[in-house]
Amino acid sequence: MRLLPAFPFLTQLLFLLPIAAGLFGVLLPALGYLPDLGGDKFHFEVFRQLLEHPALPHAVWLTLFSGIAATFISLSLAIFLATMLSRTSLSGNKNNRMASLFVIVRRGLIPLIAVPHAAMALGLAFLVAPSGWLVRWFSFLLMGWETPPEWVTVQDPFGLSLILGLVLKETPYLLLMILAALPQIRAQEYIRIGQSLGYGNLRSWLKLVLPQVYPLIRLPVFAVLAFSLSVVDVALILGPSTPPTLSVLILRWIDNPDLSFRFLASAGAVLLLLLTLGALLFWRVSEWLLLQKWRNWLSNGKRGNRNEAQKLAALSGLLLLGTAFLSVLGLAFWSLSLRWPYPYVLPQRWTSRNWERHWTSIQETSFTTLELGVIAVLIALILVVGCLENEQWRRVSFSFRSQWLLYLPLLIPQATFLLGIQILAVRLEMDGTFLLLVWSHLLFVLPYIFLTLADPWRNLDTRFPQIGQCLGASPLRVLFRIKLPLLLKPLLVAAAVGFAVSVSQYLPTLFAGGGRFATLTTEAVSYAAGADRRVIGVYGFLQALFPWIALLLALAIPRWRFRNRATLL
């Protein structure tokens, strides 16, 4: 109990140091200061140069458009699906075929969170390319095209395929966040009330549940928005190249052998940060405006039930699921192919060679991935639970400011931010150590765990711990005997999400690990540079498999543990 205040302090220290280092590492070069490259004076010349860069206006437009559109579509789809997929709707659904369809969509969508963005993007690229899987089947069954059609699908100039790729990944994440938040606001009871007053399922949901659930998922939505604006790997694979999004432009500048481009890259990173903050503000203002507009609608008393909405939700859910499933399946087929040129719909020659050849490397990298993920998740869980407990027992809420601090790593473009951390690590003689590697993963794992766990924790009925206390239990005992068991499911889901985040880290692993630690993701990304779908298939599949298993466990354990306590599920 006395140690509790140490948790937020420790967490903040853990974050403050690298973030300050990271921010300085971006800001100073952006202002022209990087002595090792000959910049020893502060000036705004770099920003002027950035703003005059011919590719910039379009890149900024593209970044904002694709990021905001992807977030908006993902959120709308997630809400739409949630209205149909939440248990509340299922129990009230008389149409059995529809109900079982929804169960399939629900069971299928959630594991998609585990598939790494890059793997999904590569799979999608193969699926929808003009020479891709869909066209090959179409050509095989109907047209017999000798050469692929000259369509512009992947890497289209408007970034539509990029948006689709992001939506495939973010919709399941937001859906999971919504479904996890529903029990806290007792959505089921509201729906029943709504229904008994003659509102249809969808209307009850939108009028009664959504206004309560949205504040709970606002932070995840912000995280999705920030991620979509600064994503690199998906934009590289699916986004246009002339010009690309701002994040890819920054990466090109960092990758430029002319080291003086680091100045421009840093300024670009600062601009991206400002854009992200601007987009978040824009989003928040739009929320408020929408609320003003719809306030009347919420209480206008109009009833009605529309079944088309249900069908539409089922259709969009199935489409989403099908696209994602085929993307992953395509990669799996590639991992088993030796030769697969156009127009073959299936590999021309099959082989197990891709798997055999990498078996030793798979074993080593899998172990490192697992070790790193488990340790990072455990530390993060302890810190997050400590902070949340501190907040509850001492009735101080984690301040707005420190919460933003926590989310900063998710808002700042990784590549430039990590350069500053790297310099700090070298100064502390910590670079290339396992400790630093875990630390760098924590920067990204911890916010996601906090994001996933904070609301269920805060919304746990306070009467449970109160009863425990009244019966004379110490806070620690209350934590272990009442809170943790009650919150087992969100705890495990948070752990699984954190694990998935750890597995997917590429740049932090490379920068902090000093190249000393190879994980499935460092392997996968370096092979992605070679564009060999067969090897990418192997590593992409494994990259998805681990978090998938973690998530399945997170869902199965509570089910087993609470097999006699159905309402806890």
Span of 93-101, 142-150, 208-216, 482-490 interacting with another protein by CB under 8 A: 142-150
CA distance 447 to 444: 6
Q: Which residues from 457-496 bind another protein, rule CB under 8 A?
A: none
User: Using CB under 8 A, which of 8, 18, 22, 39 touches another protein?
Assistant: 39
CB of 252 to another protein, least distance (A): 5
Please say which residue, 59 or 497, places its beta carbon nearer to another protein. Answer: 59
Please say which residue, 169 or 533, places its beta carbon nearer to another protein. Answer: 533
Asked if 70 and 166 touch (Cβ cutoff 8 Å), the reply is yes
Asked if 192 and 209 touch (Cβ cutoff 8 Å), the reply is no
Residue from 188, 163, 158, 161 nearest 569 by CA: 188
Please say which residue, 164 or 528, places its beta carbon nearer to another protein. Answer: 528
Q: Which residues from 503-532 bind another protein, rule CB under 8 A?
A: 510-511, 514-516, 518, 522-523, 525-532
Please say which residue, 151 or 404, places its beta carbon nearer to another protein. Answer: 151
In sequence order, the 6+-apart residues with CB closer than 8 A to the CB of 112 are 120, 168, 169, 172, 321, 324
Span of 83-91, 308-316, 424-432, 465-473 interacting with another protein by CB under 8 A: 424-432
Please say which residue, 340 or 499, places its beta carbon nearer to another protein. Answer: 340
Provide the mask over 336-375, with x wherever binding to another protein is found by CB under 8 A and - wherever it is not: -xxxxxxx-----x-x-----x------------------
Sign of the four-CA dihedral 511, 517, 522, 527: positive
In sequence order, the 6+-apart residues with CB closer than 8 A to the CB of 155 are 161, 238, 239, 240, 241
Residue from 547, 520, 506, 517 nearest 414 by CA: 506
- Fill in the amino acid letter for 396: V
Span of 88-96, 150-158, 188-196, 481-489 interacting with another protein by CB under 8 A: 150-158
Please say which residue, 259 or 319, places its beta carbon nearer to another protein. Answer: 259
129 touches another protein (CB under 8 A) = yes
User: Using CB under 8 A, which of 5, 92, 108, 130 touches another protein?
Assistant: 130
- Find residue 40's DSSP bridge partners: 33
Q: Which residues from 268-307 bind another protein, rule CB under 8 A?
A: none
Please say which residue, 222 or 506, places its beta carbon nearer to another protein. Answer: 506
Q: Which residues from 538-567 bind another protein, rule CB under 8 A?
A: none
Residue from 76, 64, 75, 250 nearest 159 by CA: 64
In sequence order, the 6+-apart residues with CB closer than 8 A to the CB of 258 are none
CB of 404 to another protein, least distance (A): 27
Please say which residue, 108 or 514, places its beta carbon nearer to another protein. Answer: 514
C-alpha distances in Å from residue 237, one per residue of 8, 166, 228, 234, 414:
39, 12, 14, 5, 18
Please say which residue, 132 or 540, places its beta carbon nearer to another protein. Answer: 132
CA distance 130 to 145: 11
Q: Where are the alpha helices (DSSP H) in 394-462?
A: 400-411, 414-427, 434-458
Dihedral (Cα; 471, 475, 477, 478), 10-degree rounding: 70
CB of 64 to another protein, least distance (A): 17
119 touches another protein (CB under 8 A) = no
Please say which residue, 189 or 255, places its beta carbon nearer to another protein. Answer: 255
User: Using CB under 8 A, which of 11, 66, 83, 131 touches another protein?
Assistant: 131
- Fill in the amino acid letter for 156: D
Q: Is the bond leading into 243 cis (omega within 30 degrees of zero)?
A: yes
User: Using CB under 8 A, which of 533, 539, 540, 544 touches another protein?
Assistant: 533
Q: Which residues from 236-255 bind another protein, rule CB under 8 A?
A: 236, 240-243, 252, 254-255
User: Using CB under 8 A, which of 90, 374, 423, 488 touches another protein?
Assistant: 423
User: Using CB under 8 A, which of 14, 19, 30, 34 touches another protein?
Assistant: 34
- Map residue 54 onto helix, strand or coil: coil
38 touches another protein (CB under 8 A) = yes
Span of 83-91, 126-134, 385-393, 456-464 interacting with another protein by CB under 8 A: 126-134
Please say which residue, 329 or 338, places its beta carbon nearer to another protein. Answer: 338
Q: Which residues from 46-65 bind another protein, rule CB under 8 A?
A: 46, 49, 54-55, 58
CA distance 354 to 184: 47
Please say which residue, 28 or 553, places its beta carbon nearer to another protein. Answer: 28
CA distance 123 to 408: 30
Please say which residue, 148 or 211, places its beta carbon nearer to another protein. Answer: 148
Q: Which two tokens stand for residue 553?
A: 């466990």
CB of 534 to another protein, least distance (A): 7
User: Using CB under 8 A, which of 100, 260, 286, 466 touches another protein?
Assistant: 260
User: Using CB under 8 A, which of 276, 327, 422, 502 touches another protein?
Assistant: 422
CA distance 19 to 402: 12
Q: Which residues from 302-341 bind another protein, rule CB under 8 A?
A: 337-341
Please say which residue, 193 or 426, places its beta carbon nearer to another protein. Answer: 426
Asked if 421 and 21 touch (Cβ cutoff 8 Å), the reply is yes
CB of 51 to another protein, least distance (A): 13
Q: Which residues from 425-454 bind another protein, rule CB under 8 A?
A: 426-427, 431-432
CA distance 158 to 65: 9
What is the total count of residues that contact another protein (CB under 8 A)? 79
Distance of CA 329 to the CA centre of its chain: 21
Q: Give me the residue label for tokens 């971006």.
A: 26
H-helix or E-strand containing 280?
helix 261-298
C-alpha distances in Å from residue 219, one per residue of 301, 372, 455:
30, 26, 10
Q: Which residues from 177-236 bind another protein, rule CB under 8 A?
A: 236
CA distance 275 to 360: 44
